[in-house]
Chains A and B, each alone.
Chain A
Amino acid sequence: MSTHTNVAIIGAGPAGMMAAARLASRNHSVIVLDEQSQAGGQIWRNIMSATTGLAGILGPDYAAGATVAGQFAASGAQHLRGATVWNLTRERQLHYLHEGQTHTLTADAVILATGAMERPFPIPGWTLPGVMGAGAAQVLLKGSGTVPATPVVIAGCGPLLYLICWQYLRADVPIAAVLDTSSGRDIFQASPALLAGLPAFADIRKGLSMINAIKAKKIPFYRGVQKLRVHGQASVRSISFEYQGQTHTLDTNLVLLHQGVVPNTQFTWLLRAAHDWSETGVCWIPKADAWGRLHDLEGIYLAGDGQGIAGAQAAVTRGELAALAADAQLNPAQADSLESLSAPLLSRLKKNMALRPFLDAAYMPKRENRIPHDDTIVCRCEEVTAGQIRDFVRQGCMGPNQAKSFSRCGMGPCQGRMCGLTVTEVIADQLKVAHDQVGYYRIRAPLKPVTLAELACATDSKF
């Protein structure tokens, strides 16, 4: 049997939880579908059951999530835990897996609060066991209280890189070295944007105190490193890099890579939504207005980092904005007051995002770590290298979908999530054309693997 709800929200992170709480308080029926067993998303993962000791290690920005999670829990919105949405149509029909069965749900409004993922970091050796994302390491810490027991090398750039170092120091995790791909020059060049970031002075101070804490522990800290390369046969043995013109090698069993996060665009590509290439974010951003209303898709909204990376506080505000617009859609009598109700939220969002232009400029991932040399694997699943992609382009390949048929690139289990951005960038670079012209993979359902048995148990006769 197919079920209907006023609002279906995909993702129980900051934006999804906030939107759900607001809409439930307006007496709409709200179902939040989330793959995890607990609300919080990635940033506030495990927030309602983390011990005070763990929350202490993770810091005040993590602990702050309890307020929003509490509002969500008390809101009356239905929280479907462990639900994997594997299809969404433009007519707002959802197909999801829950406890081994596939179900169908239709909604008057759908809010996509599917957040962000770590940007791929294609360097030689990044497929070796022992290499992980720094965000992945945070997930292990928050959700499973698991930390490295052997000295770890942390490489890349961006605020999260410093945050994980700071958290590891508090958790007594040994750090062998920090290899920062950003340099003092990057910070200097981005400094004009700092002026606009002054309303976020507290965040600047927080960042500086984290960097100082790392330096105070005398952890080897290399800035402006290049030519990162991970070595090993069955697993990581060492990492090499160039620093001030000299090649260095460090022995290690664990390497954490990070160069920022990017919107998770699987659902918006599946919906054939329009996307723009962002030069500052170096990623795709779905076309939507300030309330997250997707261009040309009636009743489908985007909330949170999926609208472009801005962090947890901005995601909460964006969740509230999407809720206001959805409320106006469901309750046309409310539509007139949408602008006036939104004004304070829009000015708060501006403040939430004040530091973003500086962060984007200072920690823009380096070209060599986005558009790798020929021998580097780009598609981890099918093991397609950047050189192969360039060969296809020389043979006339114009975009990622053609590259697929040449090589199965993007056709493995991850369905292009880990190589999509890189393939677009490599092709655009080779053809010397705009990213918008190259485009992205055509994403199709199922977004997650579904077994025949799960399909056969469908509660809707159409499947």
Chain B
Amino acid sequence: MNTVLFRTVQTDNGEASAQTVSFDFEGRQLNAPKGITVAAALMQNQVLHFRDSPVSGQPRAPYCQMGVCFECLVQINGVQNRQSCMTTIQDGMVIRMQQGQTTFTVIQTGDEQ
């Protein structure tokens, strides 16, 4: 998607925080203003595809931004099902899209015993 969808609001007196954090999303190094949510940080980087529905595989994006709809679920630092709209972005976070249906990694099969 090439269209710029979201930006930081410009206020008259230009007080916008100069501090930024950097994080990893799907292997890409991205930056965002400090103190905002993971959902907003991704959206300011023009990411709208947060996860795939586990039912149909359709792409999904944040809908409510207040912890109600669970559409913004992502994997953060290896933990799945994190509500990105309720989590503050931190320097060095590793964020992954939440894939629809996940499969278990086979650690050991019966024949090996």
Binding site for B on A (CB under 8 A): 35-37, 42, 51-54, 56-57, 117-118, 127-133, 135-137, 139-141, 143-150, 171-172, 234-235, 253-254, 264, 380-383, 412-414, 417-418, 448-449, 451
**Which residues between 45 and 81 of chain B lie within 8 Å of chain A, taking CB atoms?**
48-50, 53, 55-56, 58-71, 73, 79, 81
| A52-B15 in contact (CB<8A) | yes
Across the interface, name the chain B residue whose C-beta is closest to A152: B5
**Taking the complex as formed, is B4 at the interface, i.e. its CB lies under 8 A from any CB of chain A?**
yes
Given that A52-B13, A56-B12 are known contacts, is A144 also in contact with B59, CB under 8 Å in the complex? Answer: no
Do residues A129 and B8 form an inter-chain contact, with CB atoms below 8 A?
no
Find chain A residues with CB under 8 A from B50 CB: 129
Given A133-B64, A253-B3, A380-B69, A53 and B15 contact (CB-CB distance below 8 Å)? yes
Please state if B9 and A146 are interface contacts (CB–CB under 8 Å): yes
Q: A51-B15, A149-B6 are in contact. List 15 more A-B contacts (CB 8 A).
A: A35-B67, A128-B59, A129-B49, A135-B64, A135-B66, A136-B64, A140-B6, A145-B8, A147-B6, A150-B3, A150-B5, A380-B63, A380-B69, A414-B69, A417-B69
Q: Cβ of A145: which chain B residues have Cβ within 8 Å of it?
A: 8-9, 16, 33, 36
Select one of B40, B49, B63, B68 contacting A144, CB under 8 A.
Answer: B40
Q: Are A118 and B64 in contact (CB under 8 A)?
A: yes
B66 to A139, Cβ gap below 8 A?
yes
Contact A35 B86 (CB under 8 A): yes
Question: Smallest distance from the beta carbon of A253 to chain B beta carbons, Å?
Answer: 5
Pick the contact of B9 from A54, A383, A413, A448 — CB < 8 Å? A54
Q: Is B20 an interface residue (CB 8 A)?
A: no
Q: From residue A404, how far is it (CB to closest CB) to chain B in Å?
A: 15
Bound: A52/B36 CA distance, A: 17
Output the residue of B61, B62, B65 with the most chain A CB within 10 A.
B65
**Given the complex, which residues of B lie within 8 Å of A449, measured CB to CB?**
81
CB-defined contacts of B43 to chain A, threshold 8 Å = 140, 146
Residues on B with beta carbons closer than 8 Å to the beta carbon of A53: 11-15
| 7 interchain residue pairs of minimum CB distance | A53-B11, A144-B40, A129-B61, A144-B36, A136-B65, A413-B70, A139-B65
A417 near B40 with CB under 8 A, answer no
